[in-house]
Chain A
């Protein structure tokens, strides 16, 4: 701080005694500490001559010496606010002398004015103004030589001269020095004012100092060296003591930075802690729950699945498995080629010879990654790998081979009809096949060879819509519908004369019955729902074998015989047919036609087809959407079947229905491509819906007689489909339905494929009528 000033002052002080420096210093060697002695020396010098001026410096020096560490600390801390400290000390200084007394006196000066005479300021040792010593020379920084010619050497603070010391004593001193006593120094002890004499010990001490020897007695400068600290770097420290704090070298840079921060804190630029935010008020709005605050240990969930326990590793997982566990080339290749998902085991046994040759697991990262994915994406579920053959998941259907016989190939093609063959039927003996087609002819064929045996042209314009043999082996009667008319015919030369006669007798028996009833009057005949009269055919037709004609006035599309062969039902499904005459039941023995239904069947358009129940007196009538069963004896509606099809084309009743071997089963074919199996005991709704055809299903048929559990359907896509549908005797098990075979062969002609289908009564053969003008026998 004022170091320069101080040094200058020191100079000024020491100038005077320059020439006697050596002696001067020797004079002072009374202190134990060499350093302290030296510094004292200065002080003493200044004290003697310029006490006032030197006091400040002395103070500061002392201060610095005494409080070595304190000062350092202070230095650090005071770096930045260096100005403030002295101010503070000044204040304290000023405050000390105030004893509530004015520190001045008022006197009159020469002019009579008031003059304030202040007290001499007597600062204490700590005062900065310690220079206010009475006898301090105040000449300033000028050479003392300027005062050589004056008796004084300067002025004190009060302007009084400081007189030069007397010189006469110096002569005396010289004289005294002639007889130099032991320890004479020629110096005056400033404290006593007597000549300073040094003792023998002191002289020896000085001599040692001069000789640069140690002043301590018995000090051996050549003691053996203990190499506590040598140039050699030791590996281990000799001492485990921690580094002492004193070795710490404080960084000035850091101190500077710290002071900067401190300053900033003081000025308020840096806040040492965060001021409390004003959140408390808001927090009351948001309620924070601690979800797990009161969580207690709970038992595992019922669906908890512990991690599966892995089986212990086997030989093949060894790093050095027995050779039989090692895969050969083929196995290895196979393993590599299979999809990782499908591999039976995830690794291939590998022989590394010894454990230290085992490399790192190559899939490690991959597996960890996947494991993480599993944990992240999927809950742990028991995922037993299913090594199940997909085939085994299919329902256990018997193989078609076991269900033989069923039709597989086309055995015979019946060619002869011009235009579509609309209907066909195999006779009850299974030898003859009757067909009817667009050309208006009914033909009878030998079923095996495909030889046409009989043909009759029933109508020139209208197509033969349906042909049906009368059931029963006692007679051979064929019912056919062409245009508006129904025909009953006994084809000649097919049956033996006896049977032919029997057949004719059956038909002819009704003539008498009809004749016994009076013919209806003309008025009645004109009414719409008057039953038609059965009439004899024209001689031409009669020669051909036709026996009876029933003019129905509307086009019958379906004929179905009762199993006893006395009744048959016809359905005129045309939209223009009045509902009351659409369904007609004909009695052969009485030549009688009746209309059992007066009103239209509910729900779903005109009636489509009708069949008698094979054993019960029930007539099933199908309209476009439902099938109704009517008990004819009680005249009641007993059953409604709703297959869910939009337009029923045909249906058939299982031949064993309502017998010992099972309940009523019905198959329904629909124009919307569905084949539906109904178990009437089960539900109104279909038990099974089979939708295998691409186009409308025209006809469905059970194998008659129940010898073979087969049924077939015919579709406009030109194919037949054969199914196995066995009905079991007990009510508990459902019918099993197995698709067996698709029979293709009919050509699609004009969007129509197969129009009718029938089964051979005994064999597993079926016949189909195609729109391409052919019929086919499949066996």
Chain B
């Protein structure tokens, strides 16, 4: 047997295939003159990477990943050819990209309570790009966190709290915050179990002192709000709530209708209970529309990344619905077999990634022409996937945060065909630093107890920001990725 292997290996080494190495990134492109080259078919990723580095003559070797026909090379070329039935005579078109650097832990920001939501403000973040004309200098990156204690906090990169939102008695959230987003560098939206969406004005006095002041309270949901999506150019918000509704809101006080009276606080039980006296009176408004079709709690609602008039929502009732926000009409319903807990749009591929309670991520094509419900399944998490974010540098990248206490980075090109269809595997898994500090890296928490990740956010500048049950915001960054993008 071993003899066979050896001989076959020897044979594979002798076999050669003609490859054309290409790339789409100019800084690592090979010279024009480089034609097809003959390589032994026994090569794997590492050998190919060394080869490309040699061809480039780069001083510091850069790790590369290799794509053949849109999927990553995970085996030797020989095995790839065999599996896909490609003749070794043909010239193989291999695209190489920078390999993702393992994201390293940068910092952790300690909170008083579980952190349920996080967002970033940086030169590359949505909020900054939407803010027309606003200049955002480097080194002024801000991280927003919403916590179960009902407070929003603004952090700088040196783990200092620049601003904290007012307490409940001063016009803050009266219950846990479940979602928070920067609308613009000066405006923040947050929502939580107190059924309100609140808009805050954020101002910075200097680099280390900021202030969050309530701007608007939006009433309309009858149960806790689970998710919040922001589209600043059109001043629109989208929320998903446990009352089975999707809320569509305006951030402008003038646009918004009046708040429904019956939902305002202080209308019931005032005599028997501690009054929620707010010294600050904030304008209260209602929703532009409440989109009700779901039969379960809506766990996520997002805008289409390209078209802000289209919204998507995912719910515990297993369905993913497409909404026309202009007419507040339900366009399409895609029903899966599991409760959906998170949602992210991959516009370049017309796919929606939905995290499920069944511990995987389903990629759904929302277009009406799509025949199959699930285009791809990403497996690897061991608990519910509750948060998803796009890779800012790659249209194929995705990060997910799960109740199992890990964030996983996925590349939808790194797939294989399983009996259940196309199944992807995570590229990297980011564990919680708090576990590491406790010296329990290897110990597996049942149900991710104590380390559940509730929210994850991926920014090109800051890196991966995740918030969780360990009362921390954790920042991870792949140094190589960052450096490569600084061009």
Residue numbers in A under 8 Å from B224 (CB-CB): 431
**Complex Cα–Cα for A431 and B194 (A):** 14
Q: Say yes or no: A409-B382 contact (C-beta < 8 A), given A429-B242, A763-B339.
A: yes
Q: Which of A413-469 contact B (CB under 8 A)?
A: 413, 415, 429-431, 446, 448-451, 453
In contact, A496 and B317 (Cβ under 8 angstroms): no
Cβ of A499 under 8 Å from chain B: yes
Considering the chains assembled together, what is the distance between the CA atoms of A411 and B176 in angstroms?
A: 21
* Contact yes or no, A762 B316, CB < 8 A: yes
Question: Which of A413, A430, A449 contacts B454 (CB under 8 A)?
Answer: A449
Q: Do A412 and B262 have beta carbons less than 8 Å apart?
A: no
Complex interface: chain A residues within 8 A of B337 (CB): 404-405
Q: Give the distance in Å from the alpha carbon of A270 to the alpha carbon of B272 in the complex.
A: 137
Residue A763 contacts which of B114, B242, B357 (CB distance < 8 angstroms)?
B357
A410 and B447 form a contact (CB under 8 A): yes
Q: Cα distance A411–B384 when bound, in Å? A: 7
**Would B447 and A431 count as touching, CB distance under 8 A?**
no
CB–CB B194/A493 < 8 A: yes
Contact of B357 with A779 in the complex, beta carbons under 8 Å = yes
Find the B residue at minimum CB distance from A412.
Answer: B447
Q: How far is the CA of A431 from the CA of B114 in the complex (A)?
A: 19
Say yes or no for B193: interface residue by CB 8 A criterion.
Answer: yes
List B residues 380-424 near A (Cβ within 8 Å).
382-384, 386, 403
Tell whether A405 pairs with B338 under 8 Å between CB atoms, given A492-B273, A762-B317.
Answer: yes
Q: Smallest CB–CB gap between A486 and chain B, Å?
A: 20
Min C-beta distance of A421 to chain B, whole Å = 15
Distance (whole angstroms) from the CB of B356 to the closest CB of chain A:
10
Contact, CB under 8 Å: B452 / A449: yes
Q: Max chain A CB contacts within 10 Å: which of B222, B268, B383, B452?
A: B268
Please determine whether B268 and A504 come into contact, CB atoms closer than 8 angstroms. yes
A283 within 8 A of partner (CB): no
- The closest CB in chain A to the CB of B452 belongs to A449
Residues on A with C-beta less than 8 A from B163 are none
Q: When A413-B447, A745-B446, A763-B339 are in contact, do A497 and B268 touch as well, CB less than 8 Å? A: yes
Is residue A509 within 8 Å, beta carbon to beta carbon, of the partner chain?
no
Query: Is there contact, CB below 8 Å, between B447 and A776?
Result: yes
* A496:B222 contact, CB within 8 angstroms: yes
Would you call A411 and B268 a contact (CB within 8 A)?
A: no
Given A405-B338, A429-B223: 5 more A-B contacts, CB < 8 Å: A412-B403, A448-B386, A449-B454, A543-B272, A543-B274
Expressed in whole angstroms, the Cα–Cα distance for A378 and B262 within the complex equals 89
CB-defined contacts of B195 to chain A, threshold 8 Å = 496
> Which chain B residue shows the least CB distance to A502?
B268
Q: Is A117 an interface residue (CB 8 A)?
A: no
CB of B139 within 8 Å of the partner chain: no
A411 and B357 in contact (CB under 8 A), knowing A496-B263, A498-B263, A543-B274? yes
Bound-state CA distance A499–B195 (Å) is 13
Interface residue tally on B, bucketed by range: 35 or more
Contact present for B357 and A542 (CB under 8 Å):
no
Contacts of A450 in B (CB 8 A): 447, 449, 452, 469
B223 adjacent to A501 (CB under 8 Å): no
Contacts of B243 in A (CB 8 A): 496
Interface residues of B, dominant DSSP? loop
B358 within 8 A of A: yes
CB of B357 within 8 A of CB of A501, answer no
For window 476-534 of chain A, which residues contact chain B by CB distance below 8 Å? 492-493, 495-501, 504
Q: How far is the CB of A472 from chain B (nearest CB, A)?
A: 15
11 A-B residue pairs with Cβ-Cβ distance under 8 Å, sorted by A, are A404-B337, A405-B338, A409-B447, A410-B447, A448-B386, A449-B403, A453-B175, A498-B222, A499-B222, A745-B446, A762-B317
Contact of B483 with A by CB under 8 A: no
Contacts of B148 in A (CB 8 A): 451
**Contact between chains at A493 and B193 (CB < 8 Å):** yes
Q: How many A-B residue pairs have CB under 8 A?
A: 104
Q: Which A residues touch B449, using CB under 8 A?
A: 412-413, 415, 450
- B223/A411 in contact, CB under 8 A: no
The answer to whether the Cβ of A645 comes within 8 Å of any Cβ in the partner chain is: no
Q: A451-B148, A498-B262 are in contact. Are A413 and B193 (CB under 8 A)?
A: no
* B35 contacts chain A at the CB level, 8 A cutoff: no
Instruction: Give the residues in chain B near A777, CB-CB below 8 Å.
Output: 447
Query: Which of A430, A453, A745, A779: most chain B CB closer than 10 A?
Result: A779
Given contacts A413-B446, A413-B449, A495-B223, contact A501 B194 (CB under 8 A): no
Interface presence of B481 (CB below 8 A): no
C-alpha spacing A501/B267, complex, angstroms:
9
Task: Specify which chain A residues have a CB less than 8 angstroms from the CB of B269 in the assembled complex.
Answer: 492, 500-501, 504
Give the CA-CA distance A413 to B383 in the complex, in Å: 12
Q: Does B446 contact A410, Cβ atoms closer than 8 Å? A: yes
- Asked whether A493 and B446 contact (CB < 8 A) given A405-B338, A779-B384, the answer is no
Quick one: which of B83-123 are within 8 Å of A by CB? 114, 116
Task: Determine how close the nearest CB of chain B comes to the CB of A614; give it in whole angstroms.
Answer: 21
Q: How far is the CB of A722 from the nearest CB of chain B, in Å?
A: 15
Q: Encode A752-779 as 1/0 by CB contact (under 8 A) with B.
A: 0000000000110100000000001101
Partner of A449, one of B221, B446, B469: B469
| A453, B193: Cβ atoms closer than 8 Å | yes
Q: Is residue B174 within 8 Å, beta carbon to beta carbon, of the partner chain?
A: yes
- A543–B273 CB distance below 8 A: yes
Near A by CB (< 8 A), chain B positions 410-448 give 446-447
Give per-residue flags for A385-427: 1 if the beta carbon is below 8 A from chain B beta carbons, else 0: 0000000000000000000110001111101000000000000
B296 within 8 A of A: yes
Q: Are A448 and B268 in contact (CB under 8 A)?
A: no
> Are A762 and B358 touching (Cβ within 8 A)?
no
Q: Which residue in chain B gives the minimum CB-CB distance to A500?
A: B268
B299 to chain A, nearest CB (A): 9
Task: Say yes or no for B233: interface residue by CB 8 A criterion.
Answer: no
The interface bits of chain B over 288-316 (1 if a CB of A lies within 8 angstroms of the residue's CB, else 0) are 00000000110000000000000000001
**Residues of chain B with a CB closer than 8 A to A409's CB:** 359, 382-383, 447
Q: Do A497 and B316 touch across chains, with their CB atoms under 8 A apart?
A: no
A430 touches B403 (CB 8 A): no
Instruction: Knowing A413-B447, A496-B223, A504-B268, say if A762 contacts B262 (CB, 8 Å).
Output: no
Flag if B272 contacts A497 (CB, 8 Å).
Answer: no
Question: Considering the chains assembled together, what is the distance between the CA atoms of A413 and B48 in angstroms?
Answer: 46
- Report the separation of the CA atoms of residues A500 and B224 in the bound assembly, to the nearest whole angstrom: 14
- Let me know if A497 and B384 touch, CB within 8 A: no
With both beta carbons as reference points, the residue of chain A lying nearest to B403 in the complex is identified as A411
Shortest Cβ distance from residue B114 to the other chain A in the assembled complex, whole angstroms = 7
Q: For the complex, what is the distance from the CA of A430 to the CA of B359, rounded to whole Å?
A: 19
> Are A496 and B221 in contact, CB atoms less than 8 angstroms apart?
yes
B447 touches A501 (CB 8 A): no
A774 to B194, CA, bound (A): 27
- Report the Cα distance A715→B173, complex, angstroms: 42
The docked-state distance in angstroms from the alpha carbon of A451 to that of B174 is: 16
Complex CA gap A779/B402 in Å reads 14
Q: How far is the CA of A415 from the CA of B242 in the complex (A)?
A: 23
Query: Which residues between 268 and 292 of chain B lie within 8 Å of chain A, taking CB atoms?
Result: 268-269, 272-274
- In the complex, whether B347 has a CB less than 8 A from a CB of chain A is no
Distance in angstroms between the alpha carbons of A409 and B359 in the assembled complex: 10
Q: How far is the CB of B51 from chain A (nearest CB, A)?
A: 43
- Report A-chain residues with C-beta under 8 Å of the C-beta of B116: 449
Cα-based distance from A505 to B270 in the complex (angstroms) = 14
Assess whether B265 is interfacial by the CB under 8 Å rule.
yes
B175 touches A448 (CB 8 A): no
Given the interface pairs A496-B243, A497-B263, A762-B316, the reply to whether A451 lies near B176 with Cβ below 8 Å is yes
B39 part of interface (Cβ distance < 8 Å): no
Assembly CA distance A446 to B358 (angstroms): 18
Which residues on B sit within 8 Å (CB–CB) of A495?
222-223
Scan A529-546; emit 1 where CB is below 8 A from any B CB, else 0: 000000000000011000
- Measured between beta carbons, the chain A residues less than 8 angstroms from B446 are 410, 413, 745, 776
> Within the assembled complex, what's the spacing in Å between the Cα atoms of A253 and B317?
123
CA distance A411 to B339 in the complex (A): 13
Tell whether, in the assembled complex, residue A493 and residue B174 are in contact, meaning their CB atoms are under 8 Å apart.
yes
Q: How far is the CB of A443 from chain B (nearest CB, A)?
A: 15
Within residues 531 to 578 of chain A, which ones have a CB less than 8 A from any CB in chain B? Answer: 542-543
